[in-house]
Chains A and B, each alone.
Chain A
């Protein structure tokens, strides 16, 4: 039985269907990524799953409990890392954990016993008594994650966990999330950061306009939606080159501004050919989840 099971979920705001018939099933121990451009409905889906807003249609069950009917009970065993840090600025790191644990009905002694391990997990043992304002962005994010673990949850929701972090902090966050997965936790994360999803998630769903448009493991999605090799070609000669040779070397061509994306199963002839051209520059790389994402959701700006 899936830990999180969403069937035909619907939610509209003012006539606009933000979630339009969504199906998601997340198994225990899985890391599931919900990907989508801004406004795709990711955050609304999380709010619905947590029972913070009522759906217009469909069914949600979380940890075997119906949502929203028993959302409160289900949240006893859920951890949430929101998109924007909402740590309590009036308290120290340690106090934040204590106060938050109380919301789960935990006794002070019980929480106090958990705090050292949580602070250590977040790498904040030496900053336990620092006020929140004195912590860096990465430290706040880690503390928010530690706070989400105060009730030892089975399922953890993370809404864009690494947005705004520097590469060091981001890689650290990924390591922490992997550690949680090895401990048997289940993770549902939203991100528009494809690399993150590719590294962490067993399975991802790409969402747009309130619907899931593709789902599978990152490798499966790459394999089934896109050619395995990508060569990005740019430089002053790119227009002439594309017209003359593009179709000989590429199975599919996308032109974005001054850059040509050349998708192919085999780039071994193309690369030496490009290498000899002084008017062109190129980048040859394997296809990534980001290529799939852009292919499926388009390249138009969403804001």
Chain B
């Protein structure tokens, strides 16, 4: 095990791996964009208008506006997660695409960096798609919501890094269900996507404070609503830490899996 613990090597050799995934995506771009966009957009619009009509205001703004920030974050999270779990696992385990690449002069570190950057790129599109709806509906001005773009990248990185750990551990596709039921779904419900975290009992708030999506939304919501986020660096650090630690652990576990 110890011989797999060395730090990640970062090299531009990841680019052809990214390009490969991009080329596949381009072939399926329209269904892929629709799939990524439709689900979170319908949640946001359906709940925003439907439930929002029954509520006076949530967190000081119309419910649809409240939901917008959460939806940008969770849509980005979902997109990055799905990419590294299902698509990444297909490439690593089912199609043996990684194996083919490793016979060329690339290392596993290059391949995984390519996957990390690719999942981040793809989730950027998902986040941007929701952001475009936010702009189109006039829920927020262009101005400071532009800060959401780097934030979306950071969220994508965070969840791609975490998801790669699951990819490294998984024996098959079914395994990912644990991650969704035990990690992703609780996060959607505890981190303030649909309602403010302070509505939760204290002990759940305490759990929520540790979850990366909470940090993402703590940054995104003020940006959508025209305010300034609190404790900016702490939140950024939390997202970087989750993504970075996830990526490193995933790399060590995948080295052990494929290079033993």
Q: Which one of B43-51, B57-65, B102-110 contacts A?
A: B102-110
* B 87-120 contacts with A by CB, 8 A: 95-97, 99-107
* Known A-B contacts A53-B259, A75-B105, A103-B106; A82 and B23 likewise in contact (beta carbons under 8 Å): no
A46, closest chain B residue (CB): B103
* A 80-96 contacts with B by CB, 8 A: 80, 82, 84, 86-91, 95
CA distance A73 to B106 in the complex (A): 9
Contact A90 B259 (CB under 8 A): no
Q: How large is the interface on A (under 10, 10 to 19, 20 to 34, 35 or more residues)?
A: 20 to 34
CA distance A229 to B229 in the complex (A): 88
Contact B100 A86 (CB under 8 A): yes
Contact A88 B260 (CB under 8 A): no
Number of residues on chain B facing chain A (CB within 8 A): 23
Contact B3 A89 (CB under 8 A): no
**Residues of the B chain whose Cβ atoms lie less than 8 Å from the Cβ of A53:** 259-260
Contact A104 B100 (CB under 8 A): no
Q: Which of A82, A88, A90, A103 contacts B105 (CB 8 A)?
A: A103
Task: Write the nearest CB–CB distance from B252 to chain A, whole angstroms.
Answer: 15
Contact B259 A99 (CB under 8 A): no
Contact A103 B27 (CB under 8 A): no
Q: Which of A50, A54, A87, A102 contacts B19 (CB 8 A)?
A: A102
CA distance A73 to B19 in the complex (A): 22
Contact B99 A100 (CB under 8 A): no
Asked if A213 is at the interface (CB within 8 A of a chain B CB), the reply is: no
Contact A52 B259 (CB under 8 A): yes
* Known A-B contacts A84-B96, A100-B100, A105-B105; A90 and B16 likewise in contact (beta carbons under 8 Å): no
Contact B100 A90 (CB under 8 A): no
Task: Write the nearest CB–CB distance from A53 to chain B, whole angstroms.
Answer: 5
Contact A86 B105 (CB under 8 A): no
Contact A102 B24 (CB under 8 A): no
Q: Which of B16, B95, B260 contacts A103 (CB 8 A)?
A: B16
Asked if A69 is at the interface (CB within 8 A of a chain B CB), the reply is: no
Contact A89 B104 (CB under 8 A): no
Task: Write the nearest CB–CB distance from A143 to chain B, whole angstroms.
Answer: 12
Q: Which of B13, B16, B102 contacts A99 (CB 8 A)?
A: B16
* Known A-B contacts A99-B16, A102-B19, A103-B16; A89 and B96 likewise in contact (beta carbons under 8 Å): no
A interface list, Cβ under 8 A from B: 13, 50, 52-54, 72-73, 75-76, 78, 80, 82, 84, 86-91, 95, 99-100, 102-105, 151
